[in-house]
Amino acid sequence: MPQTSAPPLLARDARRIERYAAMADTARFLHPIQQALLHRRGWLRMLAPRASGGAELPLPQAVRLEEAVAAVDGSMGWVLTLCAGAGWFAGFLPPALARDIIGGKRVCLGGSGAPTGYADLDGDGEAAGFRITGRWDYASGAPIATHFTLNAILREDGQPLLDEQGAPRIRAFLVPAELVQIVPSWASIGMRASASHSYRIDGVWVSKEHGFTISPASATADGPLYRFPFYSLAFVTLAANVAGMASHFMQLARPCIGRRRHALKNMPLLEVPEVAALLCDKELAHANARGHFYDVLDRSWALVENCTPLTADDMEALQASSLALVAASRAAVDELYPYCGLYAAHEDSAINRVWRDFHTASQHSLLLP
């Protein structure tokens, strides 16, 4: 059922986020008031199980909130999405460990999905665990993370363990922040305040309980949220962020275009039929793609809520609608930008910050056409 009963973001919260967005961009991390809002509203726990202290929001509600925050500040929307997404992994941890983590003060989970490290088997029986070594990139929200998630290649006696197909076995882990060294590395032109730095771990031992498998069959929490396929969840949450940033860009583009005149036709640019038609066309195309995206998401969520597993076709529909929304967003931003003037190229302007954020976020590998 469409989630239309209430706005996903309160107006006063949107004003707080917007008020500090430029300062956060300059400082290259979220402003303390933005951070406080993330914690006060419980947004970083919104996908964690209720049994462990999370909100366990229905996925369509969480996605709409992520889009709404990204439509105010792309960096904050991204940190919310990636860190709340890491919090979702609590539904696959041993319940006691999940309660200890999610119930912690100002908890924030960050991390990376690339398997760029190793987990060596170390110990037997009750003392069984893993010694983790490696470096992982792009941990959004790293400065406030209390825990980091990661993927690592399993090894024994220095040799990778192989699966049935002969490929290295990969396992997900959760590690407390005090065992992690953040490596300042985030120097992108956009999404500056996401502070998506690298992190490294050098031979740190963790118990076997800190390893987990991300699949509906391995969920330790009840509820449809943990039966929703991981990649489908990733597609819809990332696409919603990009869509929110594109909406913000179009909102700012209209007054930018309205202040300009066509040099050869000597008339306001918005009165040039081709320009006016282009603006309306991009706004409509984006709205249509967004409507279809939420139709597919809401239908898919209803199936999972009713204990009906998503089929390959269902998951393909989620991916296709996500990528179609990203494509409509790219077309809107890229085709309208040339009409916005040099103001849009000024680093300190709001529309330039949104443009930079959009073109950084949309580089995510899952969002390739």
| Per-domain residue ranges of the chain | 11-102, 109-218, 228-367
Find out whether 315 and 340 touch, Cβ atoms under 8 Å: no
Confidence of residue 267 (pLDDT cuts 50, 70, 90): confident
User: Which residue in 65, 106, 64, 77 sits closest to 18, CA to CA?
Assistant: 77
Confidence of residue 311 (pLDDT cuts 50, 70, 90): very high
CATH topology of domain 11-102: Butyryl-Coa Dehydrogenase, subunit A; domain 1 (1.10.540)
pLDDT digits (tens, 9 = 90+) for 59-94: 999 999 999 999 999 999 999 999 999 999 999 999
Average pLDDT over residues 232-249: 98
Percent of the chain with pLDDT over 70: 99
Query: What class does CATH assign to 109-218?
Result: mainly beta
Confidence of residue 1 (pLDDT cuts 50, 70, 90): very low
Query: What class does CATH assign to 228-367?
Result: mainly alpha
Would the CATH topology of 109-218 be identical to that of 228-367? no
pLDDT of 5 above 70: no
Residues 6 or more apart from 49 whose CB is under 8 A from it? 56, 90, 91, 98, 102, 221, 223, 225, 226
Confidence of residue 265 (pLDDT cuts 50, 70, 90): confident
Percent of the chain with pLDDT over 90: 93
pLDDT of 284 above 90: yes
Q: Which pLDDT value is given to residue 91?
A: 98
What distances in angstroms separate CA 229 from CA 23, 98, 225, 267, 309, one per listed residue?
Answer: 37, 20, 9, 52, 9
pLDDT of 291 above 60: yes
- Going 310 to 316 to 317 to 319, the CA torsion angle's sign is positive
pLDDT digits (tens, 9 = 90+) for 110-166: 999 999 999 999 988 778 899 999 999 999 999 999 999 999 999 999 999 999 999
Burial string for 18-32 (b: 16+ CB within 10 Å, else e) reads: bebbbebbeebbbbe
